[in-house]
Structure 1
């Protein structure tokens, strides 16, 4: 049986074709979960290397046995009823949020490995927004902007320690008020837990009020943290046992599975499937690259406590391959999940998948999410609408993460709760774009690099004591950072916090090299999609135009002075 697969066309957009079958991943289900013990720097050296010092324990991840690859019958997600206005009133809503999602690691967007077919096929059968630009590069800040429809600096939700003001409404509250059964399940502790009491996973945060779950739990009747970086398997019985007579549901599934340690939830015997052939590099013997390692890799060098270790391209590809194994696990699980939804539920369910933010896989020197390059803020938004007329569509002009709340409310025929007096919504409904497959080609998207990553590093108990003592007083004030404005072709980054960043830079701490940035950076995304070449000096007129537009966008935000 042939399957539907995507491929990259010129310009990096998704095209469609039919290809031969993919080899199944596994024939059956492994019955027992395997506890995978990770050690912070436990590498087996093939050749003489300086002895690394012991480091604090790394959180333990429970490996999840993947099911055999499931084929989703996408026709089940189409209703016999078409809504001419493009709404889905009374429909269930299944919202799938993927943390540190790199869609370009999937085969349909140019990925180098067979990382799965479910998300690609979903995009082929729905409406996909290929330039879904999120407003932040840290999980709680980016996701809360999507739930409120407002920029982080508008709501003040700009830190892990932030709490959403009581009079600031969010999307789940709109569905709860309309009588939906509102449930959240997920493995991203960044939005679902009290992080200040998170010591059970091997290291802890030292600040007492890091509790984003208080804000994200609003509007939900059930709010379930499913475990560290695992798959939200509790969703399977929830979705497969519901009956038509029950109230419609709003189910938010949050996947922390892709996050570092990359591939840790994948069974040990499958983690090496995408490794470089006959890999015998510096990381041989390490099961899953984790934060104590990745936070010390910069520009093809591992700055180990024992001294710098140059890394080969195979070493770098090995780290990326471990990310890809986690992506395959998530994609296979999504296929199992969507295939299991009963037909009478599927034809009445709006399925929405998006990335919360992305991940730099050393394109700019580091593994992680530290900036507002497209690797971190350009995501996909995919919508399967059971009552939509017409063929699947690809929308390739920029939209914003803040559009999610007004779009889902509008598609469901709901109104978002009223904002505080004098406040405005930054997002706009994409219902018409979902209906027609076209969006505003002249739109520009804003991203905030607030706070700097060092803001959370100072609250980790496994960071160097002297470093934390030095940067803590410099970062006690209001959260500050940089801003980016992105059009279809151009991105302007204003390094508003460059002076503070140079004083607190983790990379300077690790490498001993000073961090210097220009005030303004400009990238031509058509010619340089990875944003490796700053062309601000070559296009002063574009810089001036975009800076004026960025300043106008920021004028309504309550920003602290430049540090």
Structure 2
């Protein structure tokens, strides 16, 4: 009988299937999520968590609506989706600018651009501004940053509070890596940052740390053969690059797990601005403040797993990010901040309260890179169901565009004529925003960019005088 079975064709077919199945299983990393399951009430207990680490991941140029977790039909972001699936996601988050330096200055200081004064190429964050990294350092955190975007370089004040603020040396780029953006002046890839972060964890995993990673490959449209899943148009390649960066983040999270750090690490994922693909006649960013360039993701993954994803549907802003995190950690707030803690919104999302909408602002000086040209601020004001795009230097109908943002997220149908009183009110809000007093530290200091800095910034694709 055994001999007949061995000699039969079915025996070899079954054996082949079992061998293929065994091989497939061998390629899958089988493990359990190291984080315990907890209710949303555990969020309130974060200040009592001993040795809580913080990993803050900033993905440059990432618009929210290109992530699966935000409803995108393509599977661009399995790692980020997993973070949102048992964590906290802010569904309607906006950045304060579509230009990195202006946006990041507002994010770190929790002040709007009109108050930071960081709106032009030569502006820097005042050394008198107290930054979150300084607050965390005083609370006993080892503060370490890795960056590749020259607009957040130390000369502009972004290193305040960091013991180490490092741009890693570019390693040789593998042949499988592709760069499709016309400007490819940033050497290396985000793998350099991930590898440097792993080196940091190897050395400092026994200390309480705050690790900030500023990733650039989505900005540079970098991807590899494995992430080339979505086509060859400019927009498709953007999606490919999101998939590539998402995988790199997965590598970092796996390293945290292997070191036994995942269940005592808070992970935050955010972006400084989005990217345009012709929605309002332009591609790229740093030119205007329409929704496609300022609608960004904000995801928080806790040291524990929530049984269901917690989604804050109420509007939020990047200027609220650090007031919220410092509040959740039980640390001192940022003095005089425009941003506020979103704890009430988080509580409401957990079914324990309600909140009212507040006015939100986004800002760009449309002449930010031209030193000899007078400032030309462009401001977006969002209040309730409406959004106004206001140009201080505009004339006539072009000066202010009103949209019913609640039902027209792409801002494709102007309603100026139908809502003249709303338009007038929103214009008054924009004017008042631009006229408000500077932050307590005064005017932003200005630095003289040398030739090397100018070359580095131009390599990113910007026109800077």
Among 312, 331, 346, the alignment partner of 1:395 is 312
The aligned residue for residue 382 of structure 2 is 486
Q: In 2, distance between residues paired with 1:358 and 1:88?
A: 32
Q: In 2, distance between residues paired with 1:440 and 1:240?
A: 43
The aligned residue for residue 5 of structure 1 is none
Among 372, 375, 399, the alignment partner of 2:292 is 375
Are 2:326 and 1:409 equivalent residues in the alignment? yes
What's the TM-score once normalised by structure 2's chain length? Answer: 0.75
Quote how far apart the aligned CAs of 1:488 are: 4.8
Among 386, 390, 414, the alignment partner of 2:303 is 386
The answer as to whether partners of 1:155 and 1:168 remain within 8 angstroms in 2 is no
Q: In 2, distance between residues paired with 1:426 and 1:388?
A: 31
Q: In 1, distance between residues paired with 2:249 and 2:322?
A: 23
Q: In 2, distance between residues paired with 1:352 and 1:399?
A: 15
Quote how far apart the aligned CAs of 1:272 are: 4.9
The aligned residue for residue 51 of structure 1 is none
Are 2:254 and 1:339 equivalent residues in the alignment? yes
The aligned residue for residue 400 of structure 2 is 520
Q: 1:409 to 1:71 in 2, by over 3 A?
A: farther
User: What secondary structure does 2:412 align onto?
Assistant: coil
Alignment of 1:491-502 (within 5 A): 491-498=387-394
The answer as to whether partners of 2:90 and 2:297 remain within 8 angstroms in 1 is yes
Quote how far apart the aligned CAs of 1:184 are: 0.4
The aligned residue for residue 124 of structure 1 is 85
Uncovered stretches (5+) of structure 1, i.e. residues with no partner: 1-26, 28-67, 194-210, 277-317, 459-471, 500-515
Uncovered stretches (5+) of structure 2, i.e. residues with no partner: 1-23, 171-185, 444-465
Q: In 1, distance between residues paired with 2:31 and 2:133?
A: 28
Q: 1:128 to 1:272 in 2, by over 3 A?
A: closer
Q: 1:440 to 1:160 in 2, by over 3 A?
A: farther
Quote how far apart the aligned CAs of 1:434 are: 3.1
Are 2:358 and 1:455 equivalent residues in the alignment? no
User: What secondary structure does 2:398 align onto?
Assistant: coil
Q: In 2, distance between residues paired with 1:217 and 1:425?
A: 19
For residues 525-561 of structure 1, the C-alpha deviation after alignment (integer angstroms, 9 at most, x for no partner) is 233211122211122232234334444444523599x
The aligned residue for residue 503 of structure 1 is none
Alignment of 1:180-199 (within 5 A): 180-192=141-153
The aligned residue for residue 235 of structure 1 is 197
Q: In 2, distance between residues paired with 1:445 and 1:536?
A: 19
Q: 1:427 to 1:70 in 2, by over 3 A?
A: farther
Are 2:367 and 1:473 equivalent residues in the alignment? no
Number of equivalences: 388
Q: In 1, distance between residues paired with 2:32 and 2:393?
A: 49
Q: Which has the higher contact order (CA 8 A, sep 6+)?
A: 2
Q: In 2, distance between residues paired with 1:367 and 1:434?
A: 34
Quote how far apart the aligned CAs of 1:138 are: 0.5
Alignment of 1:207-286 (within 5 A): 211-212=155-156, 215-226=157-168, 227=170, 228=186, 230-231=189-190, 232-233=193-194, 234-239=196-201, 242-244=204-206, 246=207, 248-260=208-220, 262-263=221-222, 266-267=223-224, 269-270=225-226, 272-275=228-231
Q: In 2, distance between residues paired with 1:375 and 1:480?
A: 21
Alignment of 1:301-320 (within 5 A): 318-320=233-235
The aligned residue for residue 349 of structure 1 is 265
What's the TM-score once normalised by structure 1's chain length? Answer: 0.63
Q: 1:384 to 1:432 in 2, by over 3 A?
A: farther
User: What secondary structure does 2:296 align onto?
Assistant: strand
User: What secondary structure does 2:122 align onto?
Assistant: coil
The aligned residue for residue 55 of structure 2 is 94
Q: In 2, distance between residues paired with 1:115 and 1:415?
A: 37
Cα RMSD after superposing both structures: 3.0
Quote how far apart the aligned CAs of 1:397 are: 1.6
Quote how far apart the aligned CAs of 1:179 are: 1.8
Quote how far apart the aligned CAs of 1:426 are: 0.3
User: What secondary structure does 1:347 align onto?
Assistant: helix
The aligned residue for residue 357 of structure 2 is 442
Q: 1:81 to 1:106 in 2, by over 3 A?
A: closer
